Amino acid sequence: LPPRHMGRSYPKEAYSIGTGQNQQGTGQQAYAPPNPMATTPTQQMPANPQLYNPQTFGIQSQQAQGSGVVPPTNNPATPVSFASPTTVATAPALDPMPETDITANFKKPTHQTGSAPPPFNPAVVNSGPRHSPPPAVDQPNGNDQQPTTNTANNPPQQQLRGKRILQPEPKNPALASRSPTLSEYGGHMPHPIASPAVSRNVNSAVASPAPKPEWESDPAYVSTTLKSWPASTDVLDKTGLPFCITFHPLAETGKEVPVINFGDANIIRCKRCRTYVNPYVAFIDGGKRWKCNICYFLNDVPREYFSIVGIEGFRYDHAERPELNNSVVEFVASPEFMHRPPQPPVYFFVIDVSYSAVASGMVQAVCNSILQAIEQKLSKNERTKIGFVTFDSTIHFYNLRSGLNSPQMLVVPEVETPFTPNPEDLLVNLQDSMPLVKKLLTSLLPELFNQTQETTSALGPALHAAYKVMASQGGKLTVFQTVLPSVGAGKLPNRQNTNSDATQRTLLQPGEQYYKNLSLELSKCQIGCDLFFFAPSYVDVATIGCLSKFTGGEINTYTLDQHNVNEASRLQNDLYRTLTRNNGFEALMRVRCSKGLCIDSHHGSFFLRAQDLMTLPNVDSDKSFTLKLKINDPKNYMTAKNLGRDGRYYATVQAGLLYTTSNGERRIRVITKCCPITDQTSDLYRDVDEKACSASIGKLAVHKAIEEGLPKAVAALKSSCSNILSKYARFSGSGQSGGQTLMLPNTMLHFPLYTLATIKNAMFRSDTPIDRRVTLMRRFETLSDTEATLWIHPNLYNLAALGDGVGEMKEPFVMPATLELTSERLDQRGIFLLDDGLAFILWVGSAVDPSMLQAVFGIQSLAEVDANNSQLQIFRRENEYSQRVNNIVDRLRSGRTGYTWMYPMKEKDPTERKFFSKLIQDRFPDSYSYREFIVEMKNSANQRR
Ligand SMILES: [Zn+2]
């Protein structure tokens, strides 16, 4: 389907929800100050003007009258809620958990048609009457939005507001008499419960240590949807919350993971279940034995590892043992972990050189990128091996044996039974053969096929040849492909033409088994496969993508043509990243769960060899693995054996990733997550991580889409949201009040928003081309919880209105405030940066101050900008404003695993749709607005009660 142009038909929504302390009303006059002189019901005005939406009160503010688009005012001190990982330094945590119960103070407002409910202010709902008196004219609180704040870049006299014509609010009968929503009622937390520990008898001689926060160095390595784990399936079912854990074993956190070398001695592991020693094991019998925290077996402590245990239950040498102080450590593997010497880093490239590959500029771009990665990184390692195969209707091998004057090319036409030359000549040491490799990439490959007219593709046979060459060593296979394979084994029919499956279930699943079978062969030989597609038309990513799905690889797609400079640069960046990031070879990841727990389902790129064992020929710092957990043995789940010293029960999940580093060291990265068990629903609500929940539910939905089709996946997303809402209503007792309210704990205020964002993501939208959908789904499955949430619900900033101190090079660094994802927040004088973690979209309004254009882009007016928007690049320029803007962009990029590519566009640009499709609070032509979604969720939740 051709993409529908989104146009400017975004209705304004006088509605907002839970963006925490930075909450703004979203009405037309959202930024208008509360007007104490107004005659309408000022008595009901809330204490915090940030949360004040005059429109819903029927107040016409003088300043805001007639403004359709209101410039967001920036307040550097305003904390942001949707903080990306890199903004953590300046962004406080989400709403602090109220310590008191608000149910006692909670009065049900009496709403009538058309009257507006009070907005949500967490500070108010917990401590005073719901309807607070209006604020004084001067706001003593520095965090409050100063209504009259207009920076020099945002002069008040400018009369550009409202240029963006917005359609009047839709006449949706469901909204005419709307009920108050959760943001307006505020979050709600149950009574804190008394610790159940009091009544339990703890045998301190054998009890495990209670986890200490300092043992968990960085949440980047592992996250869970629940920080307390349910005591039973029953307790979990009462909440409807997902119970998942996500490991990101090679996360780049900027911190060193402690490396432990036991030398010739074996690593301390449980004799029965092979769990690695970790901070949560108990040393007992004066230090002679240790109790495994996974299977509770009592192990003898080897003499050389012995240390006396002190009165508090810790060994005397506790402080000097990193493995007992860190939940994430890396052991140097002892010989027992090696079946063969660690493999060298092997890189093998399979490159399409058919007509479309050459004409699109792909071959040239790929050669440049590979050369760059080789020169800057790969050639620094003396063990690196490299090789190339190209293909069209035939297969071309390149002999790169050192000593040759020039690479020798061998063309094999017999694609049905390909003959493979001697692997030793094809897979060579990079340093030894560097001149040949350079020659191949700079002159031979780019020129050799310049005149080609070949349009057919023997991808299958070429991959098989690569597999033969690499089989004895393993390594990383990188494939570049532009057309549907049409020759030899693995040729694929165009399923899109012949398939009328409306649910796309068939198209999302692999067709031919050739690539899946091949991927299992690759996996056995420790070959991981990354795929780069450059297809304007259908190439069946679902089928070919098996190669990466089952080998720990990834899929990237590009729409290259000779005019699209952006895509070529993006390819160059991505490929460079793929080849130079922290790559692990011949990897295995085993996940052990303590008694009573097991893994229900696995999500990510791997081949599952056993329920607890994932084989990963390649693993890298950009890959996460999500596991859904299940209580399968309630009898053994909570026993005296896993009672901690503090009287709480604990359960543990430990991931051990065995891999070979690029330097040829065999390592085991061990990540241990130990959480308290609770039988209280209130604890689950208190300890829920809404981002992890949204990401996990999204991954489960991806799985459902592939198994059962898109409509069922979208229905499942909605259903899980309304299920959670209705269960919370039942829990909190608000269900008895006639279904007028929609309650959530403060810990989950954004959850419905994230759910809507997931539904509106290109993965699940109906107009996404199938190949792109598969690519996005596969990528999503491998994102960490933080990355996944940011991708689903991006951060939006206005770079043209930076408040004082924002973006200045000082600590703590102050990020601009994040804006709600609605066109209501846009301003034609603004320069908006939308950051989804994988890419930036820069949207430049048509009425940006020329001095701003000059400062940031070095241009006088937008008229100078060409069709490619090449002038709208953010470079560091010699002025203070440019420095601040660049500081912000650099700060966002710095915490990322990959390089965040930027797509600039000016207002009314044809590519503008890309930007607007991310403003998920707006109504889309085929999907509802946030407010409509809330109404539907409320109705649906009511029906469940
Ligand atoms: Zn054990």
Predicted confidence band of residue 47 (pLDDT cuts 50, 70, 90):
very low
What does 211-223 look like in DSSP terms, one character per residue?
Answer: P-GGG---TTSEE
SS (H, E, C) 564-600: CHHHHHHHHHHHHHHHHCCEEEEEEEEEEECCCEEEE
Q: How far is the CA of 271 from the centre of ligand 1 (A)?
A: 7
Q: How far is the CA of 805 from the centre of ligand 1 (A)?
A: 53
Rounded CA separation 250/621 (Å): 4
In this model, does residue 915 exceed pLDDT 90? yes
Predicted confidence band of residue 332 (pLDDT cuts 50, 70, 90):
very high
CB 694 within 8 A of CB 751: yes
Positive or negative, the Cα torsion across 304, 310, 314, 316? negative
Q: How far is the CA of 281 from the centre of ligand 1 (A)?
A: 10
Q: How far is the CA of 297 from the centre of ligand 1 (A)?
A: 5
Domain assignments of the chain as residue spans, ordered by start: 197-232+252-332+587-679, 346-580
Q: How far is the CA of 294 from the centre of ligand 1 (A)?
A: 5
Q: Is 476 helix (H, G, I), strand (E, B) or coil?
A: strand
Lowest mean pLDDT among 193-207, 403-417, 772-786: 193-207
Q: How far is the CA of 736 from the centre of ligand 1 (A)?
A: 48
Provide the CATH topology of domain 346-580: Rossmann fold (3.40.50)
List phi, psi (to 5°) of 705. -60, -40
Assigned token pair, 604? 């990510």
Q: How far is the CA of 213 from the centre of ligand 1 (A)?
A: 23
Enter the CATH code of domain 197-232+252-332+587-679.
2.60.40.1670
Q: How far is the CA of 612 from the centre of ligand 1 (A)?
A: 14
Which residues have their alpha-adjacent CB atom under 5 A from ion ligand 1?
270, 272-273, 275, 292, 294-295, 297
pLDDT of residue 559: 84
pLDDT digits (tens, 9 = 90+) for 688-731: 999 999 999 999 999 999 999 999 999 999 999 999 998 998 88
Rounded CA separation 941/724 (Å): 8
In this model, does residue 423 exceed pLDDT 70? yes
Q: How far is the CA of 420 from the centre of ligand 1 (A)?
A: 47
In this model, does residue 842 exceed pLDDT 60? yes
Place of tokens 């009462």: 238
Q: Report the range out of 28-37, 533-542, 793-802 with the highest average pLDDT.
A: 793-802
Predicted confidence band of residue 52 (pLDDT cuts 50, 70, 90):
very low
| C-alpha closest to that of 138 among 41, 22, 29, 33 | 33
pLDDT digits (tens, 9 = 90+) for 856-880: 999 999 999 988 888 898 989 999 9
Place of tokens 């094999």: 412
